[in-house]
């Protein structure tokens, strides 16, 4: 039988060991920065939401780097996960449908763009979601940063929820994310006096300002501001990015993060 002082000493040692263990665990929501045991422990502690960020490797005009969507969705997903408090973020999916390559269509007409068939893309998403379900995640959230595959995401979510019917696991594709990123942000810019001919639908003022807010190193600012007006042949659709600023981008970023967090809290609570 242990003496009281021995029991107290053992308790102190256990407390120190536990604190050291927690101290060694990085304070991050990024799944790929954690070990498998850290993921297991966080899921058991209540982090049962996983965000799957989906970007794309595509042209965005001559002044924005090809990884625009990947960098943006990674940054936004991290902020959204931190705001939720019960979520981790999966690695970004950077290979998405971007048009045909025989012959080249859509963004595939510009060097550097990468495309995959819709069927392959959807199977990849389903496989990722099922992997996370096996490991105990209950809310599988797809955040798609690119408009071209939004219907793919809806089909995948519908199929997963059909497959998972009767289980505790559910897939989500909150419309608030892409709506805030596109039409919602365009409305904010209109309220600040910008015209649709500047805002654009791809690589215009909206797209470029968002990128300046999250990854300014990916924008060739000097060339952008001092260069000529760009058009569709340059990969800029219906917009003019020359007056883009990080300050304008932050208006959109704040709206996207707050609206998506609110929507996900409501959706997951409704379960």
199 lies in a domain?
A: yes
15 lies in a domain?
A: no
8 lies in a domain?
A: no
Write out the DSSP string of 214-251: H-GGGB-HHHHHHSPPP-GGGT-EEE-GGG--HHHHHH
Query: What pLDDT, on the 0 to 100 scale, is given for residue 121?
Result: 98
Residue 20 reports pLDDT greater than 70: no
Work out the pLDDT band at 268, boundaries 50, 70, 90: confident
Query: What pLDDT, on the 0 to 100 scale, is given for residue 181?
Result: 96
7 lies in a domain?
A: no
Residue 201 reports pLDDT greater than 90: yes
Task: Please state the rounded mean pLDDT for residues 151-177.
Answer: 97
pLDDT digit string, tens, across residues 123-134 = 999 999 999 999
The pLDDT mean for the chain works out to 93
Element containing residue 159 per DSSP (H, E): helix 150-163
Q: Which range marks the domain in which residue 158 is found?
A: 28-270
Spatial distance between the Cα atoms of 107 and 62, rounded to a whole number of angstroms: 13
What strands lie across the sheet with 49-54, from one edge to the other?
87-89, 49-54, 139-144, 170-172
96 lies in a domain?
A: yes
71 lies in a domain?
A: yes
13 lies in a domain?
A: no
Query: What pLDDT, on the 0 to 100 scale, is given for residue 270?
Result: 73
| CATH number, domain with residue 198 | 3.40.50.10310
266 exposure class (CB count in 10 Å sphere: 0-12, 13-18, 19+): exposed
pLDDT digit string, tens, across residues 57-102 = 999 999 999 999 999 999 999 999 999 999 999 999 999 999 999 9
Q: 158: which 2 tokens?
A: 């519908």
Region label for 188, one of left (φ > 0), alpha (ψ between -120 and 50) or beta (otherwise) = alpha
Query: How many independent structural domains does the chain possess?
Result: 1
18 lies in a domain?
A: no
Element containing residue 161 per DSSP (H, E): helix 150-163
Query: What pLDDT, on the 0 to 100 scale, is given for residue 13?
Result: 63
Query: What pLDDT, on the 0 to 100 scale, is given for residue 74?
Result: 98
Residue 167 reports pLDDT greater than 70: yes
């Amino acid at each position: 039988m242990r003496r009281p002082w021995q029991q107290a000493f053992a308790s102190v040692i256990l407390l120190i060991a536990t604190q050291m263990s927690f101290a060694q665990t990085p304070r991050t929501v990024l799944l790929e920065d954690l070990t498998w045991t850290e993921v297991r422990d966080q899921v058991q502690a209540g982090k049962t939401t996983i965000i799957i960020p989906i970007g794309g490797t595509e042209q965005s005009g001559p002044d924005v780097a090809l990884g625009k969507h990947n960098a943006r969705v990674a940054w936004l997903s991290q902020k959204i996960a931190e705001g939720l408090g019960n979520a981790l973020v999966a690695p970004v999916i950077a290979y998405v449908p971007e048009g045909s390559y025989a012959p080249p269509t859509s963004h595939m007409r510009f060097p550097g763009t990468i495309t995959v068939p819709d069927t392959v893309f959807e199977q990849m998403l389903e496989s990722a979601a099922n992997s996370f379900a096996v490991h105990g995640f209950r809310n599988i959230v797809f955040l798609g940063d690119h408009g071209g595959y939004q219907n793919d995401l809806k089909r995948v979510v519908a199929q997963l929820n059909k497959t998972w019917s009767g289980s505790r696991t559910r897939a989500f594709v909150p419309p608030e994310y892409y709506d805030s990123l596109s039409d919602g942000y365009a409305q904010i810019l209109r309220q600040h006096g910008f015209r649709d001919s500047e805002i654009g639908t791809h690589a215009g003022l909206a797209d470029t300002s968002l990128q300046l807010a999250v990854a300014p190193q990916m924008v060739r600012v000097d060339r952008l501001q001092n260069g000529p007006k760009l058009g569709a042949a340059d990969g800029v659709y219906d917009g003019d990015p020359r007056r883009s600023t990080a300050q304008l981008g932050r208006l959109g970023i704040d709206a996207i993060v707050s609206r998506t967090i609110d929507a996900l809290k409501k959706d997951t609570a409704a379960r």
